[in-house]
Structure 1
Amino acid sequence: MLNSSWIPALVTGSALLLGLGTASAAPSPGSDGIGDPLYPQDGNGGYRVSHYDVKLDYDPAKPDFLVGDTTVDAVATQDLSQFDLDLEGFTVDSVTVDGVPAAVRRAPKHELVITPGQPLARGKRFAVRVRYSGRPGVAWSTASDQGAVHVFGEPHTASGWYPVNDHPSDKATFHVAVTVPDAGWSVLANGAPETPIVRNGKKTFGWTENRPVASYLTGLVIDKFTVRTSKLADGTPVVDAYAPGAESAEPFGRRLPEVMDFLVSKFGPYPFSSVGGIFYPGDSGGGFELQQRPVYPGGIAAKDFTTIVHELAHQWYGNSVSVRSWRDVCLKECFATYTEWLWNEAKEGHDLDAEYRQKVAAAKADPEFWQSPLADPGKELYGGSYTVGPLMLHALRRTIGDAAFFRVLKDWPREHRYGNAAFTDFEQLARRNSGQDLRGFFQAWAYSTTIPSDQYLYPGTLRG
């Protein structure tokens, strides 16, 4: 079973991150890491964030320089004498807590250590404003010699462009406003767009994500886009953007309503207020599931349409329901990959049982195929999420039957909507919905480092 020993450490080390227990006798520093079993220094303890307001000023003629002004609204989860934010790069120009100047120092490699003028009592809501400028962190990636920028990816990107509690367990609402020269540049980001403001030869683009978002799912792309707007049949706004060189992907972007209808039929109501896609040129780098607005290389979309299916499936599996720790990554990648299988079954007539048997036959000759447990992949992070993961889910489907399996697919995003969950939560849901004892199944598929026995490898129609 999943070793959950990190959770007590999380509660203690992050000074009651989850708001449980009693306050300490005297104010003390929040921890400089949240205690994730794979990335223990990710995130910080002593507080929970409720909202980020990120303001950026960027000139594409100076691609290595960025001016930022970010306010972080949070609540203390202990009597707090000091706390950290994650920020890579930059010169920090000033920090205030509730408008009062605070002491600040940098600590390797990404910690911004802040000491407020007065300790913060447990339960106090406070606002930290950080003004910074200079060279961004490594996540800030110029995409062309004209200064276009792509900022997205996982597990560590957010701290490269704004101060953040950088762990998916601390989700918050998000607003970003980016000012660029008024010379054909556009900015695409999470959530719903605001009307751009033009002033003194510059243009400010604002985007609001009004549902909690994990920090790694925030991002932005700055380029000279062709932007297409439309609506789904239910009125949900669609914003698609095509960077120069990616225009050939437009026919695939126009199929988004078809994909959304399919996903809603499998997972239930779409959890967010808008949807769309950002297409950049080339066929390298893969897609990425920015919340409400996935990013795709135009070339990959053209030759492998299921990339769009995969990244949109993440809006339910990974975005609305986010991982509790990074070792739960199967909860997003296994499911998004299996959704590609479901699409091919429904739209392309694929025989999934036959494809499953072929993949298992090939994998039997490769012992390394099974060596990364899905429920605890270790430093490999993704392990077998893209390979073993969809096999596990198809075997589960044949074990518990279609009725229970597809009920699980809808119940999961409904029960954990806008929150976080662990692999053990999924096991419990599958057992509850199927009425079966699945401990042996999950031990064989999710925790073992060897191929499952035939009992679990060929259930139901897979025996044929």
Structure 2
Amino acid sequence: MVLSPFDRTLTARMTYSLYPGFPGLGGEVEFDLGEPFEVTDVRGPDGSVPWRRDGETLHVRLPAPGATDDRPVTVTIIYKGRVEPAPEGKGHLDYLGAEGIYLRPDSGWYPQPEGNRALRGVLTVSVPDWWAAAASGRLVGLSASDDSRSFSWAVDPPAELYLAAGPYRTAVLTTARGVTLRTFFYPLGAEHAAAYLREAERMLDFFSEAFGPYPYPNLTLVEVSRFYFGGLSARSLILLDKTSLYDPETEAGPRELLAHEISHQWWGEVVPVREDPEWYLWEGLATYSEALYGEARDGHAELVRQMREKAEVYRPDAVRHPGWSIREANVRTEDWHDSLIYEKGAWVFHMLRFLLGDEVFAGLLRSFALDYAGRQPSSADLARLIAEAARKSPNRAYLESYIARWVDGTETVDFCLKEVAAARRNNGGVVLEFVLEDAGGGSFPQVEVCVTCRDGSTFTFLTRGQGRHSVDLPGRPVRIEIDPAFKVLDLRRGNNLYHGVGGLFVSEETLGRVGLCLAAGLALAAAGLLHRVRRRRAGPVPPAGHRTLVDGSEGRMLT
């Protein structure tokens, strides 16, 4: 394949080996090829063969192999075309110009055998000598001539083909696990290459321990321009938008994006996307993988920060679409990328971890990755894994309907406290009693409650189920918080925090309303006082029908 950036043309000669049993051999074999690309010739084992074009479908007539011949039939498709800048909008990932090129399978830039985009083989791309080209697979060859360079990428096992090329500077690092990491960054972005390589190695190490070994020999990170998404992950290839390319070792945003895309090497590649995908299984898991890596890197506070932030991102959609479930959002293809899939999807796994416990949840994630490698799982498969993991859990009954509640349904949580009272015991301790309610109407089976005493000591305990609870404390409580570590998707947090006020416990939400009322009252009082001061300064009000003249004399108003 030859790329010419200045006239935006792509010229290619793609040769396929079709083995006995391939659909259509001995008749017509069909390939999908984008309409902007013009086929100039199709050749079989013995020269040109009959072919015809019907829109994006290329029909090629090929001979059948001999009855005892197990050798493949080869077909070479020669074509060319212009890759125009795509219009602005969702999902347009195709562009060829002086800034570079990036192409995905959906653009039809290579002939795809009908019903099978995944290919095995070697892709050789020729570019100007100041360019470099990256693709799915691993780099197996690099050659140069007077004014061009050629990059050969081997794809095995079969995968869809993604391609990116441009005026890149490259860097390479071989990890302790033997994985070859490469960056293809523009000159300005190249200053961050070393940081990306180091952070990528740490991420591969973490995810390999959490989800199972990284199965590919290499991983390539490529900077692209005019990119709609922040990033995109393909087989051992990650595209990163240049507007998001900052030092991932010091900047949280680029680090979270990189963790998201690298985790897709498991959630999307090792565990493939279904034909009719349930996107939260991949995007929700990848979004939660950002938080898992953040926790491993920077501690539990980072996990809390990220999950709190994801809840805030999801909140507007929860308000805008209160009747939408994750499944509802999934079938609305124009909205598959929204927060119900990504952020709420991440919360589905975060709450599952809370209900199962860290160790059991970690085992479930690893089983999901290993048991369903190459198998395109569904929500039903995940539900079966959850049921197996929950056999010894006190939350078993709830967990057996977990997917039905949080993926198929619209369950919400809104924890609050009622009838809060603290009484001193004879031994000097205090017993705190309260009623835990879920104003959201759900039945989430557990939540943590943190109590702060007057001396500054804190106590966190797990409450199971709604109803009346009591806890012994060494001193008088002054603050009570429900779910302080953000383990439950409770979007109404104002009634999660209670302050001791004059022997009573008042929620933050109520204090806020009281504060608004006091502020409004003070504002009205101030306005009244100002009005009286102004009247006093203006002197007595003249009788009706009179006006005060400039010199102070009175006169009858004219009518």
Gaps of 5+ in 2: 87-91, 414-439, 449-486, 489-495, 497-559
Equivalent residue number for residue 224 of structure 1: 167
Distance 1:357 1:147, change over 3 A: closer
Specify which of 43, 54, 57 is matched with residue 2 of structure 2: 57
Q: CA deviation at 1:418?
A: 4.2
Q: Which has the larger radius of gyration?
A: 2
The structure-2 alpha-carbon separation of the partners of 1:422 and 1:112, relative to structure 1 and needing over 3 Å to count, comes to farther
1:385 shift after superposition: 1.7
Q: Measure, in 2, the Cα distance between the counterparts of 1:195 and 1:78.
A: 32
| Residue 412 to residue 129, structure 1, CA distance change in 2 (3 Å) | farther
Match of 2:319 in 1: 365
Given residue 62 of structure 1, which amino acid in structure 2 is its aligned partner?
D
Distance 1:147 1:398, change over 3 A: closer
CA distance in 1, matches of 2:444, 2:245: 33
Describe the SS at the equivalent of 1:255. Answer: helix
Q: Does 1:189 align with 2:135?
A: yes
- Counterparts of 1:275-290 in structure 2, within 5 Å, are 275-280=219-224, 285-290=229-234
Q: Tell me by how many angstroms 1:292 deviates.
A: 1.0
Pairing 1:342–2:292 present: yes
- Whichever residue aligns with residue 233 of structure 1, its letter is A
Structure 1 residues without counterparts, runs of 5 or longer:
1-55
Quote the Cα distance in structure 2 between the aligned partners of 1:237 and 1:272.
9
Call closer, same or farther: CA 1:230–1:99 in 2, change over 3 Å. farther
Equivalent of residue 242 in structure 1, options 164, 167, 185: 185
**Is 199-208 or 452-461 further displaced after alignment?**
452-461
- Contact 2:167/2:186 (CA < 8 Å) preserved in 1? yes
Separation in structure 2 between the aligned mates of residue 307 and residue 318 of structure 1, nearest angstrom: 16
Tell me what 1:34 maps to.
none
Structure 1 window deviating more from structure 2 (438-447 vs 245-254): it is 245-254
Is the 2:135–2:237 contact (alpha carbons within 8 Å) kept by the matching residues of 1? yes
| Kept in 2: contact 1:364–1:451 (CA 8 A) | no
Change (3 A) 1:78 1:194: closer
Opposite residue 441 of structure 1, the aligned amino acid is Y
Describe the SS at the equivalent of 2:192.
helix
SS for the counterpart of 1:113 is: strand
Match of 2:112 in 1: 164
Higher relative contact order (CA 8 A, sep 6+): 1
Partner of 2:198: 254
Determine which of 341, 353, 363 is the counterpart of 1:397: 353
Q: CA deviation at 1:135?
A: 2.4
Match of 2:153 among 182, 203, 207: 207
Hey, what's the Cα distance between the residues in 1 that align with 2:156 and 2:444? 43
Query: Are 1:149 and 2:101 matched, yes or no?
Result: yes
**Equivalent residue, structure 2, for 1:408:** 364
Matched, 1:442 2:431: no
Name the CA distance, whole Å, in 1 between partners of 2:273 and 2:157. 16
Offset, 1:277: 1.1
TM-score relative to the length of structure 1: 0.74
Pairwise CA distance, 1:363? 5.8
Q: Does the residue aligned with 2:388 lie in a helix, a strand or coil? A: helix
State the partner residue of 2:510: none
1:246–1:280 CA contact under 8 A, matched in 2: no
When the two chains are superposed, the root-mean-square deviation of aligned CA atoms in Å is 3.4
Task: Tell me which amino acid in the other structure corresponds to 1:434.
Answer: A
Distance 1:454 1:90 in 2: 57
The equivalent residue for 2:377 is 421
Separation in 2 of the partners of 1:289 and 1:200?
A: 33
More strand by share: 2
Report how far residue 97 of structure 1 moved. 4.6
One-letter amino acid matched to 2:5: P
For the structure 1 residues 357 and 70, does the alpha-carbon distance in structure 2 shift closer, same or farther, using more than 3 Å as the test?
Answer: closer
Do 1:96 and 1:129's aligned partners in 2 also have CA atoms closer than 8 Å? yes
Matched, 1:103 2:69: no
Q: Is the 8 A contact 2:23 2:29 kept in 1?
A: no
- Determine the C-alpha separation between the residues in 1 that align with 2:443 and 2:217: 40
Change in CA separation of 1:459 and 1:243 when aligned onto 2, cut-off 3 Å: farther
Partner Cα separation in structure 2 for residue 282 and residue 61 of structure 1 = 17
Other-structure match for 1:317? 267
- Alpha-carbon distance in 1 for matches of 2:44, 2:14: 12
Provide closer, same or farther for how the CA distance between residues 325 and 282 of structure 1 changes in structure 2, counting only shifts above 3 A. closer
Which secondary structure does the structure 2 equivalent of 1:350 belong to?
A: helix
Aligned to 1:91: 38
Q: Any conservation in 1 of the 2:411–2:442 contact (CA below 8 Å)? A: no
Identity %: 20
- 1:38-57 correspondence to structure 2 within 5 Å: 56-57=1-2
Matched, 1:306 2:256: yes
Distance of 1:424 and 1:120 partners within structure 2: 45
